[in-house]
């Protein structure tokens, strides 16, 4: 029998050995690279989408954010790139239990698996036309992922009436998701 998705993702997350220590590398800026991380999750270099997922994952592993700028950093090079929205896109979510509490695990388009815990960054930000509040989750070191529409609708199915922390407007009610014993705003209706 195949393992449920939650157990598979938990195993991947636990076996992960980590990203390179880009926060310790401080080479001089080499310049701007014609690399764009599109709002739909595609990585485009000099006008051509990077098709090799292994290369996208390699670049994602050396990505660093400084203020509003994003860089690919190695011990000897630092290249500024352009990010249209967030560098990552959440493409999958799984729900399970840890120590008797519900826990959500999110997977990005670059293979990162992140637990939504009390210590994980989570926010609603405007996205789209017209702008609507959409959830974003911190993947690591101020690098964020936007929750895809498919995952958002899955989360709506798990949502509960909110606690009032997400800023619902008058005449609307807030909904939350619960993970690691904490409520996280999902939006309002």
Tell me the domain boundaries of the chain.
24-83, 88-188
Instruction: Return the CATH architecture of domain 88-188.
Output: Roll (2.30)
The 10s digit of each residue's pLDDT in 32-56 is 999 999 999 999 999 999 999 989 9
138: pLDDT strictly greater than 80: yes
CA nearest neighbour of 136 among 94, 181, 106, 160: 106
Q: Is the dihedral of CA 18, 93, 164, 142 positive or negative?
A: positive
Q: How confident is the model at residue 20 (pLDDT cuts 50, 70, 90)?
A: confident
Do residues 69 and 83 make contact, with C-beta atoms less than 8 angstroms apart?
Answer: no
pLDDT of residue 1: 40
CATH number for domain 24-83, candidates 3.10.540.10, 3.40.50.880, 3.40.50.1980, 1.10.520.10: 3.10.540.10
The 10s digit of each residue's pLDDT in 59-105 is 999 999 999 999 999 999 999 999 999 999 999 999 998 888 899 99
pTM: 0.86
């Amino acid at each position: 029998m195949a393992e449920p998705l939650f157990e598979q993702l938990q195993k991947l997350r636990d076996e992960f050995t980590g990203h390179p220590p880009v926060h310790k590398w401080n080479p001089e800026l080499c310049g701007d690279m014609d690399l764009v991380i599109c709002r739909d999750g595609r990585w485009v270099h000099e006008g051509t989408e990077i098709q090799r997922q292994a290369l996208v994952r390699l670049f994602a592993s050396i990505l660093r954010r400084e203020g509003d700028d994003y860089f690919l950093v190695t011990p000897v090079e630092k290249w500024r790139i352009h990010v249209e929205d967030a560098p990552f896109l959440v493409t999958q979510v799984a729900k399970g239990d840890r120590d008797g509490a519900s826990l959500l695990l999110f997977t990005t388009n670059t293979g990162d698996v992140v637990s939504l815990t009390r210590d994980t960054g989570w926010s609603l930000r405007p996205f789209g036309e017209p702008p609507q509040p959409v959830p974003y989750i911190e993947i690591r070191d101020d690098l964020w992922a936007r929750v895809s529409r498919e995952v958002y609708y899955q989360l709506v199915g798990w949502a509960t009436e909110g606690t009032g922390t997400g800023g619902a407007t008058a005449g609307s009610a807030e909904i939350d998701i619960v993970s690691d014993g904490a409520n996280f705003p999902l939006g309002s209706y």
